[in-house]
C-alpha cells in the first residue's frame, strides 16, 4: 500500500467538507488524516488529505475528487517536492522527580512546554509524522494522559504554488 497526500483547494462554503469526506466514505476509502483551513483568500479553503491504498485506487480517488462541484484544484503532494508538518499536544503526568527527564526529551525533539501544573506538563511539538511518533515513543515510559494531533498539513516546495485568481477564472 502506498500513501498519498492531496492538497485540495475548495470553495469555502457550508457542506464542502461533508461532500469531500462523503466521497471517501461512499467509496470505502479510509482517510488517514484530514486538515482544513482558509487560504489567503477567505473564499477558498485548503484541505490536506492523507490516504493509503493501491496505486490504482489512489488514482481513482484523485479523479473522483476532481469531479466534485466545489473543488477548484487538486494537487498530489510528493514526498520529495513537498513539506509536511503535523502539530501535536501531549499531556504528560509528571511529578517533580520526572519533570527533568521529560524536559530533556522535549529539548532533544525541539518541542515546547506550553503548560505546567503541579501534576502535569503539556508539550507542543511540530514536525513530520515520524518525528511526532518518535517523541511519543520516547514518552512511552511516562504516563501520557491526553494526545491531540492535528493531522498532516502540506505544501509544495519552491515556486510550485497556485494563483487563486487564475484558478477562479478557469472555474
Q: Which letter does DSSP use for residue 39 in this model?
A: -
> How much is the pLDDT for 160?
56
H runs (alpha helix) in 28-128:
55-67, 96-108
Residue at grid coordinates 503535523? 86
Residue at grid coordinates 503541579? 118
Q: CB atoms < 10 A from the CB of 17, how many?
A: 15
Whole-angstrom distance, CA of residue 109 vs CA of residue 118: 23
Confidence of residue 42 (pLDDT cuts 50, 70, 90): very high
pLDDT beyond 60 at 166: no
To the nearest whole percent, how much of the chain has pLDDT over 70? Answer: 92
> How much is the pLDDT for 162?
57
Q: What is the largest CA-CA distance in the chain?
A: 61
- Output 30 or 90, whichever has higher pLDDT: 90
To the nearest whole percent, how much of the chain has pLDDT over 90? Answer: 78
pLDDT beyond 70 at 167: no
User: Residue 28 burial by CB count (10 A; 0-12/13-18/19+): exposed, middle or buried?
Assistant: exposed
> How much is the pLDDT for 161?
56
Amino acid at each position: 500500500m502506498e500513501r498519498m497526500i492531496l492538497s485540495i483547494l475548495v470553495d469555502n462554503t457550508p457542506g464542502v467538507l461533508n461532500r469531500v469526506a462523503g466521497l471517501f466514505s461512499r467509496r470505502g476509502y479510509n482517510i488517514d488524516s484530514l486538515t482544513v483551513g482558509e487560504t489567503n483568500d477567505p473564499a477558498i479553503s485548503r484541505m490536506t488529505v492523507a490516504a493509503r491504498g493501491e496505486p490504482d485506487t489512489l488514482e481513482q480517488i484523485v479523479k473522483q475528487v476532481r469531479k466534485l462541484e466545489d473543488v477548484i484544484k487538486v494537487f498530489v503532494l510528493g514526498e520529495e517536492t513537498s513539506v509536511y508538518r503535523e502539530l501535536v499536544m501531549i499531556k504528560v503526568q509528571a511529578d517533580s522527580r520526572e519533570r527533568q527527564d521529560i524536559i530533556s526529551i522535549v529539548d532533544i525533539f525541539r518541542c515546547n512546554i506550553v503548560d505546567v501544573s503541579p501534576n502535569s506538563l503539556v508539550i507542543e511539538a511540530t514536525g513530520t509524522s515520524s518525528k511526532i511518533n518518535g517523541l511519543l515513543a520516547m514518552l512511552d515510559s511516562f504516563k501520557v494522559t491526553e494526545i491531540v494531533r492535528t493531522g498532516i498539513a502540506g505544501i509544495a516546495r519552491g515556486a510550485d504554488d497556485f494563483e487563486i485568481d487564475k484558478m477562479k477564472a478557469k472555474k
